Structure formats: C-alpha cells, structure tokens
Amino acid sequence: MSKYWSAVARGLTPYVPGEQPKLDRLVKLNTNENPYPPSPRAIAALRDELGDDGATLRLYPDPNADRLKAAVAHHFADCGLAPANVFVGNGSDEVLAHAFQGLLKHDRPILYPDITYSFYPVYCGLYGVDYEQVALNAQFEIEVGDYLRPNGGIIFPNPNAPTGRLLPLAAVERIVAGNPDAVVVVDEAYIDFAGDAIPTAAALVTKYPNLLVVQTLSKSRALAGLRIGFALGDPALIEALERVKNSFNSYPLDRLAIAAGVAAMEDAAHFDTARKAVIGSREALVAEMGKLGFEVLPSAANFIFARHPQHDAGTLSAALRERSIIVRHFKLPRIDQHLRITIGTDAQCMSLLAALREIL
C-alpha cells in the first residue's frame, strides 16, 4: 500500500499466491485445472499460427475474433445460436467482469448465493454494484423461490463452486423466466462435467433475452493457460459486453489464443473423451472417499466438496500439504470443515487416497 494508491486499489485484496505455488512434483488438486492435455489439434493450430519465424505475431489479432465466435456458435448450433450470440474474452473471469459492469444493474442490489465463486464480491467492489447474498439450503442447493423477488440482476455458477452442486435446467429456467426485467448470468465454468448429457442453459438463450450464459475453455478443454472464455446471449446483451470490452482493450484475445481456441472448439471427439474421463475418475474418487468416511456432496464438476465428520478440514489440508498434495480449504463460515478437491489423473487420485489413508 502506498500514498499513491486510489481508494479502489486500497480496497482490493491480491489473489492468494499460495494457490499457485512454484514447486515441482506437487499433486496440485486445488485450482480445478484439467489433469489431461488439451486437444492435439489445438497444439497443431498453435504451431501453425506461430510458423517458423513467428512473423504473424507482428500483426494485431482480429479485434472481433470472428473465427472463434463462429466455432463457438457452431458447437452450440443445436441451441440455435449464431456468432451474433457470442462474446469472447480473456478467460471467463474477464467475461464475467464485463457482465458485472455492463449488464448487472448498479441502482439496486444484485443477488447471488452466499457460498459461491469468490470473484463475485470482488467485481461488485470494483464496479460499485450492490449485492445481497442468498443462503443456500441445508443441502447446499440454490432455492429457486429465493430468487423470485425484485433485484438488479442475478448471477450464480452452475454447477456451483465450490460445492459442485448442479441446479437442474428446469430450475434455471424458472429463475430466468421469473426475472424478465433483470439479467440472469449463469456461470457454467464446469457444466461440461455434469454428465453424459450437458444440461447447459445455452439451450434457453434464444427463448429469453435476459439470459447470459458464460463458459470457459479453461476446464473441460484444458486451456487455462491461454485464458479463453465466452458468453452466449441475445445480441443486445452481447452488444453491451462488446461496448465495455472495447473501452478496455480493442483486442480481446491474442492470435495464439484465437487459433488454439478455434481448434479446441472444433475437436468434438477429444472434448467428449476428455470430459468423460474426468467424470469417470470423479465417480471412482467419490466411492473411495466414502469408504474413508468422508461425506461428499453430489458433484457435477471436475472437483468434489467433502468433509470428514471426525477430522478437522484445516488439519487434513495441512497434513496433505506436508505430503506435497494441495487441496483447497476455505476458512469461511459454514464450509470451513470442507475440502474442495480437484479431480486429478488416476495416479494423482491414488496418491491422494494413499495419503488420506495414512493421515486418518
């Protein structure tokens, strides 16, 4: 902190650096990355874009990322979406930031769950958005009825983070339909891990002009390092996001991200195999954790949220860290006895289970 800082900078807290430790040989199960590599077609596209001499890097990227918008729209063609329904940004974090600034009302409180993605209050602080936190029920589920009251907008992750719980599509629709005067943002960072069928609210976009669905290539497409996210919505909502984005940076994505993003969106076979592998590993891990006495919430994500009735979560997390296994422990009311554990490779899950057996 220094005297030169604005009030905004003073009010901000840096992202916990401990979650991205710079150590080798860690079993890193704390930030919900994909344990498998991205599509080989994405890697080939990166090489093509770069060429032998990187000459294209002299040139600015396409300011509209048209190819990527087309590839995203094509992936959601069954939902009747066109490129005009697509916005792309630097990770879904940036897409969400633009939604907070451009679509959620600043003259009355917005609603989001009391246990949810930690960036929502940060964006509210940054952009001066008032909010009310709506309590999840005893099973850590979103109660639709709690969101049917006057508000300046609604945002929730589906599946929710860090609980992993899924709100069925029909319930999402009731929230969207019940709030025709406000934008409902459904943050679907983890939706591709919900099951064989993907219950995405993208299917509702053409029906509701107040629905914005946000997704990312960081999780199911294993491209967290390239920072690619997108939003799907009515063209009028997309226009608001474009206006905000243009005022920050007229080039939302760099050339490499666009090239790899297009190839990753087009590789439907790799996408399906990779997400189903994670789902399979999750089901196996849940079963094994149960045998160790953990209570695991039903998860539709690439992580699980678990507590052990006889063991303190903070102590467990520290004991795992001593064994070079990093999981996420939130020192927050109601969830300070839970651990959020990312689904790793089968070998990583075995290391986790072996360590837990030793600790317990």
- Strands 303-307 and 339-342, by their bridges, are antiparallel
Give me the least distance between CB of 216 and ligand PMP, in Å please: 3
Give me the least distance between CB of 190 and ligand PMP, in Å please: 7
Enter the DSSP assignment of 232. Answer: E
Handedness of CA 96, 98, 101, 102 (dihedral sign): negative
The residues binding ligand PMP (CB under 6 A) are: 91-93, 117, 157, 161, 187, 189, 216, 218, 224, 229
Give me the least distance between CB of 117 and ligand PMP, in Å please: 4
Residue (31 or 206) nearer to ligand PMP, CB? 31
Residue (123 or 208) nearer to ligand PMP, CB? 123
Residue (161 or 297) nearer to ligand PMP, CB? 161
Within 8 A by CB and 6+ apart from 63, the residues are 250, 251, 252
Determine the distance from the C-alpha atom of residue 225 to the mean position of all C-alpha atoms in its chain, rounded to a whole number. Answer: 14
Q: Report the candidate in 116, 127, 124 with the shortest Cα–Cα distance to residue 160.
A: 116
Residue (92 or 281) nearer to ligand PMP, CB? 92
Strand order in the sheet with 110-113: 86-89, 229-233, 211-216, 184-187, 154-157, 110-113, 131-134
Give me the least distance between CB of 95 and ligand PMP, in Å please: 8
Give me the least distance between CB of 110 and ligand PMP, in Å please: 16
Within 8 A by CB and 6+ apart from 307, the residues are 294, 295, 313, 337, 338, 339
The answer to whether the beta carbons of residues 188 and 213 sit under 8 Å apart is yes
Residue (61 or 91) nearer to ligand PMP, CB? 91
Give me the least distance between CB of 93 and ligand PMP, in Å please: 3
Residue (211 or 356) nearer to ligand PMP, CB? 211
How many CA atoms are closer than 13 Å to the CA of 235, on its beta-carbon side? 5
Between CA 242 and CA 84 the distance in angstroms is 11
Residue (15 or 60) nearer to ligand PMP, CB? 15
Between CA 203 and CA 263 the distance in angstroms is 23
Give me the least distance between CB of 13 and ligand PMP, in Å please: 16
